Amino acid sequence: MTAPPPSVREQIARIPFSQIREVARVGMTMPDILPLWFGEPDRPTPTFIREAAKIALDQGDTFYQPNAGIPELRETLRDYQNRLYGSRYGTEHITITGSGMNAVMVAAQAIVSPGDAVVTTTPSWPNLPAVQEVLSAQVRSVPLELKSGRWRLDLDRLFSACQGARALLLNSPNNPTGWTMPAEQQREILEFARSQGLWLVADEVYARIVYDRPAAPSFCEQATPEDRLIVVNSFSKSWAMTGWRLGWLTAPVELGETFEKLLEFNIAGPPGFIQRAGVAAVEQGEPFIAESVARYGASRDRLIGHLQHWPEVSCHAPEAAFYAFLQVGGLQDGIAFTKELLHRAGVGLAPGEAFGKEGKGFVRACFAVDPERMDEALRRLDKAFRK
C-alpha cells in the first residue's frame, strides 16, 4: 500500500485498506472468476423495484429531497417494522440514509466523541470498527467463541468490556459467521445498557436472511421507542439492492434533527427515485425475500454438505445471513491463500483476517448464489482444498 501524504490524519493512515477489496481487485482483472467475496446476491434487483425507479425518473423525480427521507418511504418502513416486530415506532423515529454504511457512520457521528470507548464483537464486518476509528474513538473487541462448531457470545465478558464505554455496537445476524443473538440475550443486553446509560447500536441488515423463521430476533421487539437504541438497516441484502445505496435508521425522536443535520453535511439525502424504488421493495417484496432465502438455503446446504470431501475444512450450517465462515486446518495466511485460489480454482473468497484477528485460519464464502452456480464453485475448489 502506498504511503499516505504527510497531511493525512495519522488515525486515518493507520486504518488498513479492506483486505476483501485487496483480493477482489486482483480477481476482477482475471477472466472467468466466480466471485464469492462480496456480500451481495448474484441476481440483479427484481424488475418491480427497477420499474418503480424508472417511473419516478420519467416523472422528473431528480431534485433534492428532505434530509430525513421522503414521507412515503418513512411511513412504509414504520408500518413494515411495526408489523414485523410488534413494535410501536412512529414515522418520526425513521431516518432514510444513503446505504447501511452511511447509517453506521451517521449514527457514530451523532453519539461518539474522540476518545470514547465503543465495544463491539469480532469476527465482524471490518467497516463497523473502522468507522469508530475514523472518529478517533477507542474500539474494544469482545471475541465470539466457537464451541462445538457454534458461535456464542459470553455476556459476562461483554459487560466487563463495557465499563466506562460510551456505546455498544452489535451485529446480528452476524457477518461473517451467521451467528444470531437469541432474544433472551438481547433482553439482558438492553437491560444492561439501560442500567449503564450506554448507547446500543444494532446492525440488523441481515434480519430477513434467516432460514428457520420469518425474521431474526430484533432489539426492536425488546425496546421502547424512548430507549437509547439505534437500529441500522439496509435495502442491500433483503431486496438485492446493493448498488442502489439505500438504508435507514430507527432511533429515539430526539436524534431525528441531529441525523437530518448530519445527512445534510454527508450526502444531503438519497435521490428521490431511489427512495421510490424502496417503497416498492417493501410493499411488494415479501415473495422475493421468501424465494431468495429458499435459494440461498439450497446453496448453503450444498456447500456445507460438500465439506465431507474437504477433511481440513469445517463449518456448521449458519442459521442466518448468507456466509459460510470456513475454518481451514493449517491455514496461516488467508490473504495469500485466497489470492492463490483465484489462480488455482478461479473462485474468489474473502480472507478471514479481514474480519479481525479471530478470523485467522478462516475464509468466507458468500453463498447468495443460484445452487447451480454453487455447484460449479465447489467443483472448482475441490482440487485446491484437497491439496
User: Percentage of residues in the chain with pLDDT exceeding 90?
Assistant: 93
263 pLDDT more than 70: yes
In this predicted structure, what is the pLDDT of residue 387? 64
- From CA 305, how far away is CA 86, in angstroms rounded? 36
pLDDT digits (tens, 9 = 90+) for 14-49: 888 899 999 999 999 999 999 999 999 999 999 999
- The helix/strand count (H/E) of the chain reads as 14, 15
pLDDT digits (tens, 9 = 90+) for 159-218: 999 999 999 999 999 999 999 999 999 999 999 999 999 999 999 999 999 999 999 999
Tell me the mean pLDDT in the region 275-280.
98
- From CA 39, how far away is CA 343, in angstroms rounded? 21
Other Cβ atoms less than 10 A from the Cβ of 248: the count is 25
- Name the CA radius of gyration of the chain, rounded: 21
For residues 369 and 42, the answer to whether their CB atoms sit within 8 Å is yes
Angle between helices 100-111 and 127-134 (to 10 degrees): 40
Residue 155, helix vs strand vs coil: helix
Tell me the mean pLDDT in the region 214-230.
96
Q: How would residue 386 be classed by pLDDT, with cut points 50, 70 and 90?
A: confident
pLDDT digits (tens, 9 = 90+) for 302-313: 999 999 999 999
1 pLDDT more than 70: no
- From CA 58, how far away is CA 162, in angstroms rounded? 51
- From CA 371, how far away is CA 315, in angstroms rounded? 18
pLDDT digits (tens, 9 = 90+) for 129-169: 999 999 999 999 999 999 998 999 999 999 999 999 999 99
Q: How many residues does the chain have?
A: 387
6 pLDDT more than 80: no
| CA distances, 4 to each of 7, 78, 99, 127, 129 (Å) | 8, 44, 27, 20, 21
DSSP letter assigned to residue 33? -
222 pLDDT more than 90: yes
123 pLDDT more than 90: yes
Helix, strand, coil shares, percent, the chain, to 5:
45, 15, 40
In this predicted structure, what is the pLDDT of residue 124? 96
- From CA 80, how far away is CA 51, in angstroms rounded? 21
In this predicted structure, what is the pLDDT of residue 257? 97
Domains of the chain (ranges, CATH numbers): 10-45+287-386 (3.90.1150.10), 60-285 (3.40.640.10)
Q: How would residue 384 be classed by pLDDT, with cut points 50, 70 and 90?
A: confident
pLDDT digits (tens, 9 = 90+) for 347-364: 999 999 999 999 999 999
In this predicted structure, what is the pLDDT of residue 16? 87
In this predicted structure, what is the pLDDT of residue 3? 61
- From CA 186, how far away is CA 172, in angstroms rounded? 10
**Which single residue is written with the C-alpha cell 465447489?**
378
- From CA 245, how far away is CA 98, in angstroms rounded? 5
In this predicted structure, what is the pLDDT of residue 4? 57
- From CA 189, how far away is CA 159, in angstroms rounded? 8
For residues 277 and 53, the answer to whether their CB atoms sit within 8 Å is yes
Helices (H), the chain: 10-14, 19-27, 47-58, 71-85, 100-111, 127-134, 155-161, 183-196, 219-222, 256-266, 272-284, 286-306, 334-344, 371-386
Q: How would residue 2 be classed by pLDDT, with cut points 50, 70 and 90?
A: low
**Which single residue is written with the C-alpha cell 441481515?**
206
- From CA 283, how far away is CA 237, in angstroms rounded? 16
For residues 209 and 237, the answer to whether their CB atoms sit within 8 Å is yes
pTM: 0.95
In this predicted structure, what is the pLDDT of residue 297? 97
Q: Are strands 150-152 and 145-147 parallel, antiparallel or unpaired?
A: antiparallel
Residue 92, helix vs strand vs coil: helix
Residue 211 is placed in which grid cell? Answer: 432460514
**Which single residue is written with the C-alpha cell 448468507?**
322
